[in-house]
Structure 1
Amino acid sequence: MALVAFLFLLVGPAIAAIAFFRRLSIRWHLFLLSLCVVYGISPFLLTWGALGLAKRFGCSAEAVRFSCPSPVWLGDVISGLAMAHWLSILAFPSAILGAIGLLISGILQYKRSRTTGGTSGETPAVFYRSRRQKIIAGVCSALAQRWHQSLAVIRIVTVVLAIVIPGFIFLYLWCWLAFPIEPRSQQQQSYVQRG
């Protein structure tokens, strides 16, 4: 249960970090900002939808539980959805942190684009996933290169952590989304340096 609460709290900051590490355009920042807003109000939307369903199907509220004439199982579903507003305790602060992070990242991106004049194209990211040595997303090979470790060791550690820590897979998926794949020009430079 604590892991689920922790994940609910991390959604907004994780969205902001994706925009920061990928150095996305202002349009993408605005899209991700709208995602944070929807995430923050989604518990209230779920509760509002549940109350609408209860009214539509003629369900009656008995304390904190709804009972429906037909189908009976709908009462349990509506009861669960009606309690979704409690998730706002986690979702709302997370969405606010994500929105603040997106605004800061957007301002930094805007300043970068103003100083470069928009002629140089994409600004280089801080961390790149590997294009050549990837099995799934190239995250492990990038970590091995960055930390100067064996690729096999990093992959074994990643698999073990994914088995032992159930939420670790979300971290891997986040790294996949947050860090761009290395550009082809950088890949050619690494071939020249090794050759």
Structure 2
Amino acid sequence: MGEIFFLSLISLLLFFGPALAAIAIRRSLSIPWQLVLLVICILYAAFPILIGLGGVGLAKVYNCTTDINIYKCPGNPSLGETITLMTFAHLLAIITIPSGILGIIGMLISLVIKFVKLRKGEETSQAPFAIFYRSRRHKLIAGICSAIAKKTNLPLLAVRIVTVILAIVAPGFGAPLYLWLWLAFPLEPNS
């Protein structure tokens, strides 16, 4: 069960940056909101390194010593454990930097497209044509399962059961994927 949790967590961390870019593109967010998401992608990529540097700084402030990458602080052993965890946070950068870079690239492409449309005098607030629309009529929560069932010609109940199982077995993957589909894809247009 622990392996499934860590694999789900790793996939969630890898998915974060591209998911933000996809939301900005699919929802055709305004330029200020796209800039906010761009800053979030940059901070996400750098966050583990900043935590690691913060841990090293705390070790210097509290005169902690290191013994084979384990910090020991005089008079406060729990602070030594916290600083040790903080200094090992930089290892997450292996995952967050590629994800953040993909998100940054997607956000920059989206911003360039938006600026080109503005220069041509075209409308930029319209969402692009979506291949996948969430269902309005057959939804329990967001219409994702009924849209998947319609797109793949599978029974709606089977798609819902698989979605619930995925959310239970791999909560770090199934639930965020569902949330991302909810945010990234619009409701079907009114007929």
Q: TM-score range by the shorter chain?
A: 0.7 to 0.9
Question: Which sits farther off after the overlay, 74-83 or 12-21?
Answer: 12-21
Give the ranges of 4+ consecutive aligned residues of structure 1 lying more than 6 Å apart after TM superposition.
Answer: none
1:122 and 2:126 equivalent?
A: yes
Give the alignment's Cα RMSD to 1 decimal. 2.5
The answer to whether the 8 Å contact 1:23/1:125 transfers is: no
Structure-2 separation of matches of 1:176 and 1:62 = 48
Report the count of equivalent residues. Answer: 184
Question: In the TM superposition, what whole-angstrom CA distance separates every residue of 1:64-116 from its partner, at most 9, and x where no partner exists?
Answer: 01112343222111101111122222211221111111112222344455567
The answer to whether the 8 Å contact 2:26/2:128 transfers is: no
Structure-2 separation of matches of 1:124 and 1:162 = 29
- 1:8-157 aligned within 5 A: 8-112=13-117, 117-118=122-123, 121-126=125-130, 127-157=132-162
The alpha carbon displacement at 1:45 in A equals: 0.9
Structure-1 separation of matches of 2:178 and 2:97 = 24
Code of the aligned partner of 2:15 = L
Query: Which residues of structure 2 form unaligned runs of 5+?
Result: 1-5
SS of match in other structure, 1:28: helix
Code of the aligned partner of 2:88 = M
Q: Could you say which structure has the greater relative contact order, defined with CA pairs below 8 angstroms and 6 or more residues apart?
A: 2
Code of the aligned partner of 1:58 = N
Cα gap change, 1:133/1:114 in structure 2, threshold over 3 Å: closer, same or farther? farther
Cα gap change, 1:51/1:133 in structure 2, threshold over 3 Å: closer, same or farther? same
Query: Which residues of structure 1 form unaligned runs of 5+?
Result: 190-195
Structure-2 separation of matches of 1:141 and 1:58 = 59
- The TM-score normalised by the length of structure 1 is 0.79
Code of the aligned partner of 2:101 = I
Structure-1 separation of matches of 2:165 and 2:128 = 32
Code of the aligned partner of 1:137 = A
The answer to whether the 8 Å contact 1:22/1:125 transfers is: no
Cα gap change, 1:4/1:75 in structure 2, threshold over 3 Å: closer, same or farther? same
Code of the aligned partner of 1:33 = L
- The TM-score normalised by the length of structure 2 is 0.81
Code of the aligned partner of 2:186 = P
Cα gap change, 1:123/1:11 in structure 2, threshold over 3 Å: closer, same or farther? closer
Aligned-residue sequence identity (percent) comes to: 45
Question: In the TM superposition, what whole-angstrom CA distance separates every residue of 1:28-50 from its partner, at most 9, and x where no partner exists?
Answer: 22111111110111111101221
Aligned residue number for residue 4 of structure 1: 9
